[in-house]
C-alpha cells in the first residue's frame, strides 16, 4: 500500500503534538526556567589523551557569581557511568581519554560567568600519545586506554566452512568498506534543569531514551535511592540514539545538590559536538563467493569498529553488526568476526540503525559486485539468494516467521524508476561510447535541458533489521490503562517522545482498540513519577510494546468498565460497549450521546476506578544466542541519482522504499519515519562525517558538519508499506524508526555506479573520486 | 575590534540616520567601532570567538542606503544598488533579474532564505570574500564609497579593488603580467564563513560602502549581440553551504543572422567578446582568470578552443587546499564547469540568460 494522503482516509491526520511543534509554541525541557535557577557548564578536556596532574579551581571559585565548582572529589558514590559497563568517568580523576572528557563543572548566576569561571580553572595535563585509529590501537606497543587493553568487545559467527566453500565458487568479490563518523544532529542539544525538591529528592528535567535507566545510573552516582530521583524526559527535540546514554544529567544533578538550587545546563552546539556520541565508523572487509548461477555460497566478514574512548553500547552495536552482516540472504557458509576497539576518537555509541547501516552498505555492495561480475540483474541476484519465510535467523536462532524479505523485494520492483517499469537497459558507464550526451538518462524521465555532463542511474538495496534489544538483555515492557477521577482515560507508558511520533501511535492504538475518542485520552509518558516500566525508547520497539500492552490490558479493563457502567445504568453488560465520550448502548448506537459518559462513570464510581496494567518482556528468541533478535523488519530501497560529471556531485532524485513491518498505525508518522530516515541516511551517504586529527574534531558546528537540507532530498519519495503478516502472527506492528535508514546508502551507491560506472567503497561518497575515476577528470567535457 | 568583556556587556549601538553621521562616529572611535548592516557575518565571527567591538554603528536607519535606483544615459542602463539592500530583495528585483541575472544568482546562492532576509549586499561585498563579489567582478561592477577624508566624499572604485592589493594596476584586464597569487591572501583552513581571515579590506578603515553600481549597454549597442552569463557555486551540499569553488563568467556573443530558421533558440557558433572569467571560494578571494579571458576574447567557439581554455585554466589557477576539497579537485572542477557551461551556452541552446 503506497502511503499517500489521498488513499489514507481519516487515518491521515496530524500527530497530536504536531501543530505546537511546527509553530514553535511547544516548550521543551531545555526551555524551562525556575526561580533561583543557576546555569551550569562543564569543563572538557583540552587533550584527547593525557594524564591529569592537577586541577586547581580556587581562583574560579572566587569569581563573583560562582556558586559551586565540582570535580571528581565531589562525587558521592560511583564516579562512572555507562549503560552496559560503567567505564566513563563523571569527572576524570587522573587521566583523560577524549576531548569531551569532563574535568569539572560550575554553577553560576549566568552562562557568561560560568564560562569565565571555567577559563580560570587551572588544569595541568601531561599529554600522552594519542591512539588515532583501531588498527593502531590493536598493535602491541599501543598505549592501553583501559585496564583490559584496547579491545572493548569481540563477536563472531560461523556456519559451514567458508574458506573451503570459496573453492567451489565461480566468482569471488573482495572489498574493504569504510563508513563515516556520523553525528546525530538533533536540533535540541543536550540539556535541561535539575531541581532539588524540599523532601531531599531531585527532579531531573532532561531528555533521555529511558527514564528509568537514567534514574538507576544517577542513583549510583549520587548515592541516592532511586525513588528519590524523578526523571521527566519528554518532549525532546530529537535523539536518534544520541541521548540514550547519560550526558549532562550527572553534572546538573551534582550541582543542584551542592547549591540547593535548580541548575540548568544546555550545551551549545560546539559543546555537543565535542562531548556527545557519534555513529561507529567501521571498516568492513568482505570476501564473498557465488556459483555461476548467482547463488552465494560463502561469505567472510571482518568488522573493525572505532568505539572511541568509552564503552556505552559499543558491545551491542558490534553484536548487531555481526548479526546483520549477511543481510536477508541464505548463505550456507559463513565466517564473521568483529572487534570493537577503544581509541581516543570521541565516543561512538547508539545511533539509529545500530551498526546495521554500516554492514548493510557492505553486504549489499558485495551483492551488487557479484551480480555485475556474473552479468545477472541486481534484482534477480537478490531473489535467488533471498531467505524464506520459515528460515532461521541470521545467527541460526529461531525467529518469528516472516515473509518480509520476499514482500519488499517484490514491492520495490514497482517503483516507477526501476528498470522493470521503464524497460531501460542496464548500467551505462562513462566510457561506454561516444554518446555521452544522454541527458535523458537511463530511466527515461528526461531532463528539461539535455545537459551532456549529467548522467542518471538507478540502484537498489535490501535490508533486514531486528527490533528489541536481543537475547540475553533484560527487555521489560509494559503499560497502564486507567479511568481517572476526571473521566479521562489515562494511557501510560514509560516511553519518551523524541520526535518519532509516539503520541500519535498511542492515540491511534488506544482509540482504535478501546473505542474511545482522542479527546477522551490523557496520554502520559516520559515521567518516572507517573509512568510504568515499559523499557527503553530504542531499538524500534515502542510501537510494538504499545500495541501488545494495550491488547493485553484491553479485555480486563473493558470488562471492568462495562460492568461498572452496567451497575450504574441498569442495562445488561452485554449491551454496553465503550465508545467516544463514554459507554454506549449497542442497541441504540444511533443515539446522540453515550448512556453514561466517562466523566459520570468516574464521578459516580469515585473509588476503585477501573485500572489495568501489563508487564511482559519484549519478544525474544528462545535460543540462547547473545543479542539475537526475534522480530525483524525488512526494507527495500530504489534510488535514482543524477551525477554531474564536471564535479562529481550527486543529486538524489528519488528514494523509494518498500517496508514490511506489519500494520501501519499512524500513516503520516510511518511515512515521516521512512522519509526522514531516508534523508538522514542520504546525509550518511553523501556528506556527513566528523573527521578527526590526532583525537581532535575537525568540525565544530553545523557550518562545517553538513547535513542535508530540503534542497538535497528528493522531491519524490514513495513509501510502500506492506502490512500483511504471516497468518497467526500475534505480534502486530513492528516499529519503523530505524529501517528507513538502513538500505539507503547501498542503493545510492548502486545508482551512482549505474549512472557513471564509479564503484564506491567508502562513505560519504567522494565527488573527487568520481571525477577522477576517469583518467584526467575531464569526462564531463568529453563531448566537446 | 579588540575589546571583549567576558562578562557579556553588550557593545553600545549607534543608530545614525545619515552616512555622514555614521562616518563621523566611526572616525571618532576608530578601531573600537564597527559598522553593522545585517549583522549576519559579524554574529558568526563573534560566535567563532572573535572579540566584539565597544561600539556598533548600525546602518539600518540610513534610508538612502536601502534603495535601488535605475538611470539611463546614451551608453545604456545604470543601476545603483544601495549597500543596505537585503540579498533576498536583490535576488528577486525585476531589474536585477532581467539585466544582471548573474548577480541575482549570486545573491540567491548566499546562505539560506533566512540569512538572505537579513544579510545585505553591502555586508557581503565589504567583507571581501562574499559570494556576490565573484559575480560583481565578472560584471565589472563599481563600488560607491563614502569617505570625507577623500577629496570628493563619494568615490567610485572598481570591484576588483576589494580583492586585489591596492597598488595593483587599476585596470586588471589590461595589465599584462599578473602575479598568480593575487587576491589569494586567505585563511588556508577556513571553512565556515565566520572563520575566514581578513582579506584585503578597504584602504580607509572608516570608509563606508554606499552601494554597488552596474552598467549595461544600450539596446542599440547590443543589437545583434546576446549576453551570456554563468554562475555556479559548488559546495558539499546543494544549498546553504560555504563555497568550495564559485565560478562566474560573462561575455557577449554575436548572433548569426542566417541561423535559427526552424531550430528554435539556436544560433551558430560566432565570435565572443567582453569575456570575464572569475573563480573564488570561501577561503580565497575571487580573481579573474585574465589569461583565459585573453584566449577567448574575439575567438570563435570550437572544440579546440574549449580544450585550450581548459588547459589554460588548469595551468593558471592555484587554489589552496581545503579541509574538504583538495587544491587539484578545486582546480579541476573550476575548469570543468567553466568550460562545459560556457561551451554549452555559446553553442546556442540557451538563447539568453544564465546557467547555474
Ligand atoms: C548561516 C550563515 C550562512 C552564510 N552563508 C554565506 C554564503 O553562502 N555566502 C556568503 O558570501 N556569505 C555567507 N554568510 C556570511 C554573511 O551572511 C554574508 O556575507 C552577508 O552578506 C553579510 O552581510 P551583513 O549585512 O549581514 O553584514 P554584517 O555582518 O553586518 O557586516 C559584515 C562586515 O562588513 C562590514 N560592513 C557591513 N556593511 C558595510 C558598509 N555599508 N560599509 C562598510 N562596511 C560594512 C561590517 O563592518 C562587517 O565587518 C553566511 C552567514 C551566515 C550566518
Q: What share of chain B is helix, strand, coil (3-state, %, to 5)?
A: 30, 25, 45
pLDDT at B29 over 90: yes
When the pLDDT of each residue in chain B is averaged and rounded to a whole number, the result is: 84
CA of B91 relative to ligand 1 center, distance in Å = 15
Cell numbers at A539, concatenated: 531499538
Question: Is A687 in CB contact (< 8 Å) with chain B?
Answer: yes
pLDDT at B3 over 90: no
Q: What is the mean pLDDT of residues A700-706?
A: 94
Q: How far apart are CA A706 and CA A425, in angstroms?
A: 35
Q: How far apart are CA A521 and CA A550, in angstroms?
A: 13
Helix, strand or coil, per DSSP, at residue A63: coil
CA of B43 relative to ligand 1 center, distance in Å = 9
Same domain, B212 and B228: no
Q: What is the mean pLDDT of residues A179-198?
A: 98
Interface test with B, best of A646, A653, A768 (most B CBs within 10 A): A646
Helix, strand or coil, per DSSP, at residue A53: strand
pLDDT category, B351, cuts 50, 70, 90? very low
Residues β-bridged to residue B272: B253
Cell numbers at B339, concatenated: 568550460
Q: Which of A413, A304, A286, A469 is nearest to A360 (CA)?
A: A286
pLDDT in tens, A409-468: 999 999 999 997 765 544 444 433 323 333 333 333 333 347 899 999 999 999 999 999
Same domain, B245 and B347: yes
Whether B44 is covered by a domain: the verdict is no
pLDDT of residue B48: 83
pLDDT of residue A400: 98
Q: Check which CATH number belongs to the domain holding B276 and give it.
A: 3.30.390.50
When the pLDDT of each residue in chain A is averaged and rounded to a whole number, the result is: 95
Same domain, B160 and B238: no
Domain that holds residue B301: 224-355
Q: How far apart are CA A52 and CA A71, in angstroms?
A: 12
pLDDT in tens, A519-553: 999 999 999 999 999 999 999 999 999 999 999 99
Domain C-terminal end among B167, B193, B216: B216
Q: Domain A376-470+629-772 has what CATH class?
A: alpha beta
Q: Give the count of domains, chain B.
A: 2
Q: How far apart are CA A670 and CA A662, in angstroms?
A: 11
Report the nearest-CA residue for atom 16 of ligand 1: B41
Phi-psi region of A628 (alpha: psi -120 to 50; beta: other; left: phi over 0): beta
Q: How far apart are CA B137 and CA B122, in angstroms?
A: 14
Cell numbers at A567, concatenated: 451497575
pLDDT at B52 over 80: yes
Q: How far apart are CA A103 and CA A634, in angstroms?
A: 44
Contacts of B344 in chain A (CB under 8 A): 451-452
Same domain, B210 and B288: no
pLDDT of residue B354: 58
**A116 → closest Cβ in B6, B336, B337:** B6
Same domain, B228 and B349: yes
pLDDT of residue A770: 97
Question: Is A708 in CB contact (< 8 Å) with chain B?
Answer: yes
Look up the CATH architecture of domain A134-182+279-361: 2-Layer Sandwich (3.30)
Q: Are strands A171-178 and A151-159 parallel, antiparallel or unpaired?
A: unpaired
Same domain, B110 and B144: yes
pLDDT category, B47, cuts 50, 70, 90? confident
Same domain, B208 and B229: no
Q: Which CATH number fits domain A476-617: 3.40.50.720, 3.30.420.40, 3.60.15.10, 3.30.365.10?
A: 3.30.365.10
pLDDT at B87 over 50: yes
Which CA distances in Å does A262 have to A204, A208, A254, A266?
10, 19, 11, 13
pLDDT in tens, A210-252: 999 999 999 999 999 999 999 999 999 999 999 999 999 999 9
pLDDT of residue A439: 31
* Furthest CA-CA distance within chain B: 73
Same domain, B171 and B142: yes
Q: How far apart are CA A524 and CA A395, in angstroms?
A: 38
Q: What is the mean pLDDT of residues A72-99?
A: 98
Mutate to test the pocket of ligand 1, among B47, B135, B146, B193 (most ligand atoms within 8 A of CB): B193
Domain C-terminal end among B216, B245, B264: B216
Cβ within 8 Å, pair B336-A449: no
Whether B81 is covered by a domain: the verdict is yes
Give the rounded percent of residues in chain A with a pLDDT score beyond 90: 93
Surface of A (607-666) touching B: CB under 8 A: 645-649, 651
Q: How far apart are CA A778 and CA A428, in angstroms?
A: 17
Same domain, B242 and B338: yes
Q: Check which CATH number belongs to the domain holding B80 and give it.
A: 3.30.465.10
Give me the numbers of helices (H) and strands (E) for chain A, helices first please: 20, 30
- Cβ(A128)–Cβ(A143) below 8 Å: yes
Whether B304 is covered by a domain: the verdict is yes
Within this chain, domains A29-128+187-238+243-275 and A134-182+279-361 share the same CATH topology: no
Residues β-bridged to residue B90: none
Q: Which of A775, A774, A750 is nearest to A760 (CA)?
A: A750
pLDDT of residue B219: 82
Tally Cβ neighbours within 10 Å of residue A732. Answer: 18
Whether B31 is covered by a domain: the verdict is no
Packing angle of the helix pair A667-686, A502-514 (nearest 10 deg)? 150
Same domain, B265 and B149: no
Whether B27 is covered by a domain: the verdict is no
- Cβ pairs bridging A and B (under 8 Å): 92
Q: How far apart are CA B101 and CA B230, in angstroms?
A: 9
Count Cα neighbours of A499 within 13 Å in the Cβ-side half-sphere: 19
User: What does DSSP assign to residue B203?
Assistant: S
User: What does DSSP assign to residue A154?
Assistant: E
Q: How far apart are CA A4 and CA A393, in angstroms?
A: 33
Q: What is the mean pLDDT of residues A37-46?
A: 98
Question: Which residues lie closer than 8 Å to A134 by C-beta, 6 or more apart?
Answer: A283, A304, A305, A306, A339, A341, A343
Kindly provide the residue ranges of all beta strands, DSSP E only, lying in A607-744, ordered along the sequence. Answer: 611-617, 631-644, 650-660, 692-693, 696-697, 719-722
pLDDT category, B8, cuts 50, 70, 90? low
Kindly provide the residue ranges of all beta strands, DSSP E only, lying in A217-360, ordered along the sequence. Answer: 229-232, 263-266, 282-290, 296-308, 333-342
Count Cα neighbours of A135 within 13 Å in the Cβ-side half-sphere: 4
**A706 → closest Cβ in B241, B306, B339:** B241
**Structural domain spans, chain A:** 29-128+187-238+243-275, 134-182+279-361, 376-470+629-772, 476-617
Q: Domain A29-128+187-238+243-275 has what CATH class?
A: alpha beta
pLDDT of residue A420: 78
Same domain, B77 and B209: yes
CA of B246 relative to ligand 1 center, distance in Å = 17
| Geometric angle at alpha carbon A164, from A161 and A167, rounded to 5° | 140
Q: How far apart are CA B184 and CA A31, in angstroms?
A: 45
Q: How far apart are CA B123 and CA A594, in angstroms?
A: 66
Domain C-terminal end among B160, B187, B216: B216
Q: How far apart are CA A344 and CA B260, in angstroms?
A: 66
Amino acid at each position: 500500500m503506497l502511503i499517500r494522503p489521498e488513499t489514507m482516509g481519516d487515518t491521515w491526520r496530524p500527530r497530536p503534538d504536531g501543530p505546537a511543534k511546527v509553530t514553535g509554541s511547544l516548550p521543551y525541557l531545555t526551555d524551562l526556567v525556575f526561580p533561583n535557577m543557576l546555569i551550569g557548564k562543564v569543563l572538557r578536556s583540552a587533550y584527547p589523551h593525557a594524564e591529569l596532574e592537577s586541577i586547581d579551581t580556587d581562583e574560579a571559585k572566587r569569581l563573583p557569581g560562582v556558586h559551586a565548582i565540582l570535580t571528581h572529589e565531589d562525587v558521592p558514590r560511583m564516579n562512572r557511568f555507562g549503560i552496559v559497563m560503567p567505564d566513563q568517568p563523571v569527572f576524570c580523576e587522573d587521566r583523560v581519554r577524549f576531548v569531551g572528557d569532563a574535568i569539572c563543572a560550575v554553577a553560576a548566576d549566568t552562562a557568561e560567568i560560568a564560562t569565565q569561571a571555567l577559563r580560570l580553572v587551572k588544569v595541568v595535563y601531561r599529554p600522552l600519545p594519542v591512539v588515532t585509529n583501531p588498527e593502531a590501537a590493536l598493535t602491541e606497543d599501543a598505549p592501553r586506554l583501559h585496564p583490559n587493553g584496547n579491545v572493548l568487545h569481540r563477536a563472531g559467527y560461523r556456519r559451514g566452512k567458508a574458506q573451503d566453500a570459496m573453492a567451489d565458487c565461480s566468482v569471488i568479490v573482495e572489498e574493504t568498506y569504510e563508513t563515516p563518523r556520523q553525528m546525530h544532529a538533533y536540533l535540541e542539544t543536550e540539556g535541561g534543569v535539575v531541581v532539588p525538591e524540599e523532601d531531599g529528592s531531585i527532579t531531573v528535567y532532561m531528555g533521555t531514551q529511558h527514564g528509568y535507566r537514567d534514574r538507576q545510573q544517577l542513583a549510583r552516582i549520587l548515592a541516592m535511592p532511586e525513588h528519590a530521583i524523578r526523571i521527566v524526559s519528554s518532549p525532546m527535540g530529537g535523539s536518534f540514539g544520541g541521548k540514550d546514554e547519560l550526558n549532562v544529567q550527572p553534572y546538573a544533578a551534582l550541582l543542584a545538590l551542592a547549591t540547593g538550587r535548580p541548575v540548568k545546563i544546555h550545551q551549545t552546539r560546539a559543546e555537543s559536538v565535542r562531548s556527545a556520541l557519534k555513529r561507529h565508523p567501521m571498516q568492513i572487509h568482505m570476501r564473498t563467493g557465488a556459483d555461476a548461477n548467482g547463488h552465494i555460497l560463502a561469505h567472510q566478514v571482518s568488522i573493525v569498529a572505532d568505539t572511541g574512548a568509552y564503552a556505552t553500547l559499543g558491545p551491542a552495536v558490534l553484536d548487531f553488526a555481526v548479526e546483520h552482516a549477511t543481510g536477508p540472504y541464505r548463505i550456507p557458509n559463513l565466517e564473521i568476526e568483529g572487534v570493537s576497539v577503544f581509541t581516543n576518537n570521541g565516543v561512538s555509541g547508539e545511533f539509529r540503525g545500530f551498526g546495521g547501516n554500516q554492514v548493510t552498505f557492505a553486504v549489499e555492495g558485495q551483492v551488487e559486485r557479484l551480480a555485475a561480475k556474473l552479468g545477472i540483474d541486481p534484482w534477480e541476484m537478490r531473489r535467488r539468494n533471498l531467505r524464506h519465510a520459515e528460515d532461521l535467523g541470521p545467527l541460526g536462532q529461531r525467529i518469528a516467521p516472516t515473509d518480509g524479505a520476499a514482500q519488499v523485494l517484490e514491492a520495490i520492483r514497482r517503483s516507477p524508476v526501476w528498470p522493470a517499469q521503464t524497460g531501460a537497459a542496464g548500467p551505462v558507464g562513462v566510457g561506454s561510447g561516444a554518446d555521452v550526451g544522454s541527458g535523458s538518462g537511463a530511466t527515461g524521465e528526461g531532463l528539461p535541458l539535455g545537459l551532456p555532463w549529467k548522467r542518471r542511474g538507478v540502484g537498489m538495496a535490501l535490508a533486514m533489521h531486528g527490533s528489541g534489544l536481543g537475547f540475553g538483555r533484560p527487555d521489560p515492557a509494559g503499560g497502564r490503562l486507567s479511568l481517572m477521577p476526571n473521566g479521562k482515560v489515562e494511557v501510560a507508558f514509560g516511553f519518551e517522545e523524541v520526535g518519532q511520533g509516539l503520541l500519535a501511535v498511542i492515540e491511534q492504538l488506544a482509540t482504535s482498540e478501546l473505542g474511545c475518542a482522542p479527546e477522551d485520552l490523557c496520554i502520559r509518558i516520559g515521567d518516572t513519577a507517573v509512568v510504568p516500566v515499559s523499557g527503553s525508547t530504542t531499538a524500534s520497539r515502542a510501537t510494538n510494546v504499545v500495541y501488545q500492552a494495550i491488547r493485553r490490558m484491553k479485555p480486563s479493563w473493558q470488562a471492568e468498565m462495562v460492568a461498572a457502567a452496567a451497575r450504574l445504568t441498569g442495562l445488561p453488560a452485554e449491551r454496553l460497549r465503550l465508545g467516544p465520550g463514554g459507554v454506549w448502548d449497542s442497541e441504540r448506537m444511533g443515539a446522540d450521546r453515550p448512556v453514561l459518559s466517562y466523566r459520570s462513570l468516574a464521578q459516580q464510581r469515585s473509588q476503585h476506578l477501573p485500572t489495568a496494567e501489563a508487564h511482559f518482556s519484549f519478544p525474544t528468541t528462545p535460543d540462547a544466542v547473545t543479542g539475537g533478535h526475534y522480530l525483524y523488519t525488512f526494507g527495500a530501497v530504489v534510488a535514482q541519482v543524477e551525477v554531474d560529471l564536471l564535479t562529481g556531485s550527486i543529486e538524489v532524485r528519488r528514494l523509494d522504499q518498500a517496508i514490511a513491518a506489519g500494520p501501519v498505525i499512524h500513516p503520516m508518522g510511518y511515512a515521516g519515519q521512512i522519509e526522514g530516515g531516508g534523508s538522514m541516511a542520504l546525509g550518511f551517504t553523501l556528506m556527513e562525517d566528523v573527521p578527526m586529527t590526532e583525537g581532535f574534531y575537525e568540525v565544530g558546528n553545523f557550518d562545517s558538519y553538513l547535513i542535508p537540507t530540503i534542497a538535497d532530498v528528493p522531491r519524490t519519495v514513495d513509501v510502500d508499506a506492506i502490512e500483511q503478516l504471516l497468518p497467526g502472527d500475534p505480534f502486530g506492528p513492528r516499529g519503523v524508526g530505524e529501517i528507513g535508514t538502513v538500505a539507503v546508502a547501498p542503493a545510492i551507491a548502486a545508482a551512482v555506479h549505474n549512472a557513471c560506472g564509479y564503484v564506491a567503497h567508502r562513505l560519504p561518497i567522494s565527488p573527487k573520486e568520481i571525477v577522477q575515476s576517469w583518467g584526467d577528470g575531464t569526462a564531463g567535457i568529453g563531448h566537446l | 575590534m579588540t575589546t571583549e568583556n567576558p562578562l557579556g556587556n553588550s557593545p553600545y549601538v549607534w543608530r545614525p540616520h545619515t552616512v555622514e553621521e555614521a562616518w563621523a562616529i566611526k572616525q571618532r572611535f576608530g578601531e573600537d567601532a564597527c559598522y553593522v548592516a545585517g549583522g549576519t557575518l559579524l554574529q558568526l565571527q563573534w560566535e567563532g570567538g572573535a572579540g566584539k567591538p565597544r561600539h556598533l554603528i548600525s546602518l539600518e536607519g540610513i534610508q538612502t542606503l536601502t534603495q535601488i535606483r535605475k538611470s539611463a544615459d546614451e551608453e545604456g542602463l545604470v543601476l545603483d544598488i544601495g549597500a543596505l539592500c537585503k540579498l533576498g530583495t536583490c535576488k528577486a528585483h525585476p531589474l536585477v533579474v532581467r539585466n544582471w541575472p548573474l548577480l541575482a544568482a549570486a545573491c540567491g546562492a548566499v546562505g539560506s532564505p533566512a540569512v538572505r532576509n537579513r544579510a545585505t549586499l553591502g555586508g557581503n561585498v565589504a567583507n571581501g570574500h562574499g559570494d556576490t563579489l565573484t559575480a560583481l567582478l565578472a560584471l565589472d561592477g563599481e563600488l560607491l564609497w563614502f569617505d570625507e577624508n577623500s577629496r570628493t566624499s563619494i568615490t567610485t572604485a572598481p570591484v576588483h579593488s576589494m580583492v586585489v592589493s591596492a597598488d595593483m594596476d587599476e585596470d586588471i584586464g589590461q595589465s599584462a603580467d599578473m602575479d598568480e597569487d593575487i587576491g589569494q591572501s586567505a585563511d588556508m583552513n577556513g571553512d565556515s564563513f565566520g572563520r575566514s581571515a581578513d582579506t584585503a579590506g578597504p584602504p580607509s578603515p572608516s570608509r563606508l560602502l554606499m552601494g554597488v553600481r552596474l552598467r549595461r549597454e544600450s539596446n542599440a549597442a547590443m543589437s545583434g549581440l546576446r549576453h551570456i552569463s554563468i554562475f555556479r557555486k559548488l559546495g558539499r551540499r546543494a544549498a546553504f553551504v560555504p563555497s568550495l569553488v564559485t565560478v562566474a563568467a560573462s561575455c557577449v556573443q554575436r548572433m548569426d543572422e542566417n541561423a535559427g530558421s526552424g531550430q528554435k533558440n539556436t544560433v551558430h557558433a560566432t565570435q565572443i567578446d567582453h569575456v570575464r572569467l572569475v573563480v573564488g571560494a570561501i577561503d580565497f578571494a575571487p580573481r579573474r582568470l585574465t589569461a583565459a579571458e585573453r584566449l577567448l576574447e574575439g575567438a570563435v567557439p570550437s572544440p579546440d578552443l574549449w580544450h585550450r581554455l581548459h588547459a589554460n585554466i588548469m595551468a593558471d589557477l592555484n587554489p589552496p587546499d581545503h579541509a574538504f576539497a583538495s587544491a587539484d579537485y578545486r582546480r579541476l572542477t573550476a575548469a570543468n564547469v567553466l568550460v562545459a557551461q560556457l561551451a554549452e551556452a555559446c553553442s546556442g541552446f540557451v538563447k539568453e540568460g544564465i546557467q547555474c
